[in-house]
Structure 1
Amino acid sequence: MRVGVLALQGAFREHLLMLGSLGADTLKVTKSEHLAGLDALILPGGESTAMVRIAAGTDLFATLRERMADGLPVFGTCAGLILLADRLSDDSLGGYDRLGGLDVTVARNAYGRQRESFTTPLTVRGLDEPVEGTFIRAPQILELGPGTEVLSRHDNVPVRVRQGSVWGASFHPELGTDGRIHAEFLHQLGAAA
């Protein structure tokens, strides 16, 4: 199982380390050629504005959209969720190309500023024990499309969702040592994690 991590900016190193600790073969993805041969891709947290600006003028997002249309599993965390959301509550990334593909409406930075970041236990469907969710200037999922499934909630608000092979999380599952969210993603791909 070869899993790429978009490495334009943000917490890509932490995702690579987490995936590696679970036995996945990993690759830093910085250009469209890197998407060939991948079994899945993670879009990390970071600055969504920086990511779309770095990708602008390249064919990376266009190629990734094609791979997603062909069924490539993708998991976006924090800023990655913003890139995958079909709709934003404001036009703060207007004019920049995003990926889309996840039928949700998202509000950027809805959980507050950097100093208001927090970590909290999250109940995860299918797991006996909570996982720690770290929210850093996190987006909030405001609306779900009819085919979007909620996998985790915080204060009754969806914070991790899935629509087919496209997953999104408001929080950073890669920060810390608990690999169960990544293991679940790999398991759904058919990998032994």
Structure 2
Amino acid sequence: MMSLTVGVLALQGGFSEHLDLLRTAAHHISSTDAASKTDFTLLEVRTEEQLARCDALIIPGGESTTISFVAAQSGILEPLRDFVKVQKRPTWGTCAGLILLSDEANATKKGGQELIGGLGVRVHRNHFGRQIESFEANMTLPFLDDQGAQAGFPGVFIRAPVVEEILATNDSRPPVEVLAKLPGRLNKMKPGVSQANTKDDSGDIIAVRQGNVLGTSFHPELTKDARIHVWWLKQILGQQ
């Protein structure tokens, strides 16, 4: 039997909600996919030792500055960078997690903030405005084709970032893949950016993937919809 240990960074933010959806997703895979005999272990991650046990990691929504500060103070920031960029373990960041996984971030608080990096993008924090301007949008996510993409996904945007620019990188990472956009403002796109599964160049980029790293602007953990969690776990299992 295959085993997979998935952690959720539990320094601040919606880590318990992610764990709930991971349990739902793991149960769904185990009960519906006869070919997948996987023993899932799910855990909260606060220490380097707990991180070392993980095959994959989710960095939840919350306050990116706080998560970064606590990670640095607790000595797990550098191990996180190693996990993502050296070991290249599957890592998914939602909202604040997307910010932390980006190579660059705009509109940071005075003095900036430490980032983990791994995604060759620049994000714009709080792109849609303040907490009071939070909103929900029924989205079509083409990458969820086998999970019923046409049913629409409930996107929850709370002080959400967007990817405002795909950065030119000189390292060995694969190209950044744009997975989804929210119709709206135009984004600055570099030549050669993958437009996989998108219809045109307009709209705010709200989901990207580069190699082992996935980032989404919105909060799937604040819904009862586990389709992205199911998709992500299946992506990991397919690579093992």
Q: TM class, shorter-chain normalised?
A: over 0.9
Shift of 1:154: 0.5
- Which residue of the partner structure matches residue 167 of structure 2? 145
- Which residue of the partner structure matches residue 57 of structure 1? 73
Partners of 2:112 and 2:46 lie apart in 1 by 21
- Asked if structure 1 preserves the Cα contact closer than 8 Å seen for 2:156 and 2:219, the reply is yes
- Answering whether residue 236 of structure 2 is matched by residue 189 of structure 1, we say yes
Shift of 1:165: 0.5
**Max radius of gyration: which structure?**
2
- Answering whether residue 128 of structure 2 is matched by residue 111 of structure 1, we say yes
Partner of residue 89 from structure 1, selected from 83, 106, 127:
106
- Asked if structure 1 preserves the Cα contact closer than 8 Å seen for 2:106 and 2:124, the reply is yes
Partners of 1:157 and 1:45 lie apart in 2 by 19
- Greater Cα shift, 97-106 or 4-13: 97-106
Partners of 2:17 and 2:73 lie apart in 1 by 27
SS of aligned partner of 1:120: strand
SS of aligned partner of 2:237: coil
SS of aligned partner of 1:56: helix
* 1:123-138 matched pairs, under 5 angstroms: 123-126=140-143, 127=145, 128-129=149-150, 130-138=152-160
Shift of 1:93: 6.5
Q: Where does the alignment leave 5 or more consecutive residues of structure 2 unmatched?
A: 27-39, 169-174, 184-202
SS of aligned partner of 2:136: strand
Partners of 1:90 and 1:115 lie apart in 2 by 18
SS of aligned partner of 1:111: coil
Partners of 1:164 and 1:122 lie apart in 2 by 24
- Asked if structure 2 preserves the Cα contact closer than 8 Å seen for 1:56 and 1:96, the reply is no
- Greater Cα shift, 125-134 or 158-167: 125-134
Residue 95 and residue 175 in structure 1: after superposition, are their counterparts in 2 closer, same or farther (change >3 A)?
closer
- Asked if structure 1 preserves the Cα contact closer than 8 Å seen for 2:8 and 2:57, the reply is yes
Partners of 1:93 and 1:18 lie apart in 2 by 35
% of aligned pairs identical?
46
- Answering whether residue 205 of structure 2 is matched by residue 178 of structure 1, we say no
Partners of 2:88 and 2:204 lie apart in 1 by 27
Partners of 2:159 and 2:107 lie apart in 1 by 16
Count matched residues.
Answer: 191
Residue 66 and residue 141 in structure 1: after superposition, are their counterparts in 2 closer, same or farther (change >3 A)?
same
The alignment's TM-score, normalised by the length of structure 1, stands at: 0.93
- Greater Cα shift, 63-72 or 168-177: 63-72
Partners of 2:58 and 2:122 lie apart in 1 by 20
Query: In proportion to residue count, which structure has more strand?
Result: 1
What amino acid maps onto 1:137 in structure 2? R
Shift of 1:58: 3.1
Partners of 1:43 and 1:94 lie apart in 2 by 23
What amino acid maps onto 1:98 in structure 2? L
- Which residue of the partner structure matches residue 91 of structure 2? 74
* Structure 1 ranges of 4+ moved more than 3 A: 93-96
- Which residue of the partner structure matches residue 29 of structure 2? none
Query: In proportion to residue count, which structure has more helix?
Result: 2
Report the aligned-residue RMSD: 1.5
What amino acid maps onto 1:123 in structure 2? T
Partners of 1:26 and 1:5 lie apart in 2 by 8
What amino acid maps onto 2:141 in structure 1? V
Shift of 1:95: 5.4
1:58-98 Cα offsets, whole Å, 9 max, x none, are 32111111122112110000000110110112443645422
